[in-house]
Structure formats: structure tokens, C-alpha cells
Structure 1
């Protein structure tokens, strides 16, 4: 069990777990998940941790097929500047390793924005807290579990 799974169970949210054999040579964890799960890469969402105004952290959840637009993310969060957070800081703050960072069940609750295309799907896939383990759930349940919001954070 991961903190993400435990959090979803405790909240009594419907979800499914999907496990696959992670290849350490994979270039993109999210793209690998989409391919191995046989799902469109627009429906598999990656979790990125962003440094805002040089001090606070926030979470961007977006399709693996897209790139985060830091200006749109900053606007959605109501801050002036956004930059990708340092790997060590991400792992220390979330409690997850890169490639397995779940937006759910992080050690510290961070402000979260889910790209609005998530609403186009009945369910989406996010990391369940380790490489090779994904969680499928309704987008509204993801927002509920993260206390997040939907906004446009990619082109």
C-alpha cells in the first residue's frame, strides 16, 4: 500500500489500481505507463512539482502528452513566477521518488491544479505512488482528494 492508495481508501473514493513492469531505461515514465496500460497518453496524467515565487511549492497534474506552461500555471496559482522544483526538494516534500510522485497522499499538502482536459474523460490515470503503479479514478475525485482545482496549465 502507498500513501496515495491509503488516502483514496480512507476517503471512500472509487478507484482501480493498475500495475505494470517498469523499465528503468524508459525515457518518460508517463509515456511508458500509457503504452504498458494500453491507454491514450491524453488520459494518463503526470505529476510535476513547481516552485512558486522562489519559496512555495505547488503541484501541476497534466497529460503525459503535453508540456507544462509555467506562465499559465503561475496565473492559475495567482503567483508571479513559477519554475520546476529541485528533484531532492520534490522527493523530500512529497515523500515519493521521481517517476512515482502521486498527486494524492503527499507528506505535505500542496496547492494542486489539474489540467482542465481531465474533465473530458470519465476516468484518468495518475501515479499511485511508485513506478509501475497507476491509479484510475474520476477527475472530480482527484480534485477532491488533492483539494485542488481545474485550470488550463498547458497549451
Structure 2
């Protein structure tokens, strides 16, 4: 890791022995699509930059990790969780549960580790970029390394 900010996410990855590259960028609140803005800011394709969303599946919080330019398919995610219904969680609860601020939520190093699902399109790339646990920090890593840390499988969860 270079001189980028150390976060709970980067510490968790380091502890797990996962190689990653930090990509700090100038975070701008209020932009329409934060993930797409982040992709542009680091000069990477939006389909390789993944956003982490906290969703309630039958009132149980889970993470959906999907390409920045896509939307989560709630019915697909609910089915993957064995739930009947899925909906976005309110931002305050997402922050309280994960320990990260909205715009900086990472699937790594969460205060309460949530069951996570990553979109299968991640496997199409040699490297993907996921939030590093702070607003204005993405981390580049191999998709299989991300899967090994969050202990999930890659499935189709976008629309």
C-alpha cells in the first residue's frame, strides 16, 4: 500500500494477505452517481468500478457489490438470500451497521460483517475497483481475492 489513507477495509485486506492498490481521488458529495464519478476520477471504466450497497433482505442487512453504472435487481438479490423481499436500507442504518460513511462503504473491514453478494460481471476483469472504506478511496484488486475475503460467490444481481 502507498501513502493512501489507512482504513478498516485496508487493514482487513492487509491482515488477510490480499494484494491491493489504493486509488485515492477527490470525493464530491452531491454528484448524481457517486460510483460513476469515482470511475471517471481514477480513469477506469465504470463497469470495473464496483459500488457497495447495503440492502435489507427480509429485514436482514446484506451487501450487494455491483458495477457503478448498474442498479441492483432486488428480486434477484432476495432470491439469492432466500428472502421474499429486498429493499435499500436507510443511510443512517447502513453507516451504523458497517462503520463506514455512505459514499465510503466497503465490503471489507465492516464493523458487523454482512453477508455479501458480488455481481458475476466482476469475474470478467483482471482487476476490479471497490471502495476502500473512505470517501475518495477505491482499491484495485483481483476479483477472486475480493471473493475470498468476503466469502461469497459471484452471481447475477443487476438489472
**Which TM class, normalised by the smaller chain length?**
over 0.9
In structure 1, list runs of 5 or more residues that go unmatched: none
2:103 to 99, 102, 107: 99
Once residues 116 and 104 of structure 1 are traced to their aligned partners in structure 2, the CA distance between those partners, rounded to angstroms, is: 18
Query: Counterpart of 2:132 in 1: which secondary structure?
Result: strand
The CA RMSD over aligned residues, in Å, is 0.9
In structure 2, list runs of 5 or more residues that go unmatched: 1-5
Structure 1 residue 25: deviation in Å? 3.7
User: Which residue of structure 2 lines up, in the alignment, with residue 145 of structure 1?
Assistant: 149
Structure 1 residue 27: deviation in Å? 2.0
Q: Deviation string for 1:113-147 (max 9, x for gaps)? A: 00000000011000001111001011111111111
Post-superposition, which runs of at least 4 consecutive aligned residues in structure 1 deviate over 3 A?
none
Q: Deviation string for 1:16-66 (max 9, x for gaps)? A: 001111123422210111001111100000000011112x11100000111
Q: How does 1:4-153 map to 2 (within 5 A)?
A: 4-54=9-59, 56-153=60-157
Query: Counterpart of 1:42 in 2: which secondary structure?
Result: helix
Once residues 33 and 90 of structure 2 are traced to their aligned partners in structure 1, the CA distance between those partners, rounded to angstroms, is: 18
Once residues 108 and 143 of structure 1 are traced to their aligned partners in structure 2, the CA distance between those partners, rounded to angstroms, is: 18
Would you say the 8 A contact 1:76–1:152 is kept in 2?
Answer: no
Query: Counterpart of 2:131 in 1: which secondary structure?
Result: strand
Give the length in aligned residue pairs. 154
